[in-house]
Amino acid sequence: MKKWIYGGALLVIVLSILYNFMGGINPANYREEIMESREDTDRFMRFSEESPFITAGVSLDSLKYYEPDLTYRIAARFTPVEKRDIVPLGTNDGKKEEYLSYGYAEFNLDGNSERLLILENIDEEKLFIPFGDATSGDDTYGAGRYLDVEHGGSATIILDFNKAYNPYCAYVDSYSCPLPPPQNLLKGAIRAGEKNYH
């Protein structure tokens, strides 16, 4: 009987350590949250009049994703830019779109020191990171993916690559999408978030 009690207590301690190590996130709840979000996205893509698939008359069963992995939910070090400059981004169809520089997110992953430029959409006042990585052109869209982020003014910023998504031009060629700037091409592989549609 005592062995069962000690075993149960040990399990509670181990789970508590894991819970704290992951920043107070329950892995099961987190996975459920990510999967529900993906189901919502799939419904939007299949049925909304604003969906690129509906607009182009293309049928869709579901998008493809990596399995949720807390390894890719990263608390990165945030550094604001010294001056908020206009950053022109090239698009897949040879045009230019302008964004505001906001700051840098720095982190280590798989032995690589990485740094990403965070941009602000001038019209919508939202922060996002267009990026490419070692999976681009293989498991994921060759022209890179996007990650929406929020920042409350602290010295850290959460980069949850499980929420990385494809630009619309990954599905339909007629869409114009900004491409990642050269400094946002990561050395390592981000095996998280949305995969290639095709």
Does residue 86 lie in a domain region? yes
Does residue 24 lie in a domain region? no
Does residue 1 lie in a domain region? no
**Cβ distance 193 to 164 under 8 Å?**
yes
| Rounded Cα–Cα distance for residues 182 and 180 (Å) | 6
Does residue 102 lie in a domain region? yes
Q: Determine the average pLDDT of the residues in 120-144.
A: 96
Does residue 15 lie in a domain region? no
Q: What is the pLDDT of residue 52?
A: 96
Does residue 197 lie in a domain region? no
Residue 7 has pLDDT above 60, yes or no: no
The per-residue pLDDT for range 60-86, each reduced to its tens digit, is 989 999 999 999 999 999 999 999 999
The per-residue pLDDT for range 181-193, each reduced to its tens digit, is 999 999 999 999 9
For residue 155 the two structure tokens come to 């010295």
Q: Determine the average pLDDT of the residues in 27-45.
A: 97
Residue 29 has pLDDT above 90, yes or no: yes
More confident residue, 153 or 23: 153
Prediction pTM value: 0.87
Secondary structure element (H or E) that encloses residue 10, with its range: helix 2-21
Q: For residue 139, give the nearest of 56, 66, 79, 42 by alpha carbon.
A: 66
The per-residue pLDDT for range 140-168, each reduced to its tens digit, is 999 999 999 999 989 999 999 999 999 99
Residue 125 has pLDDT above 50, yes or no: yes
Residue 20 has pLDDT above 80, yes or no: no
Residue 103 has pLDDT above 80, yes or no: yes
- The total of structural domains in the chain comes to 1
Does residue 28 lie in a domain region? no
Q: What is the pLDDT of residue 24?
A: 76
Percent pLDDT > 90 in the chain is 82
Residue 33 has pLDDT above 80, yes or no: yes
Does residue 87 lie in a domain region? yes
CA angle 180, 182, 188 (to 5 degrees): 85
Mean pLDDT of the chain: 91
Question: What domain range is 141 assigned to?
Answer: 34-184
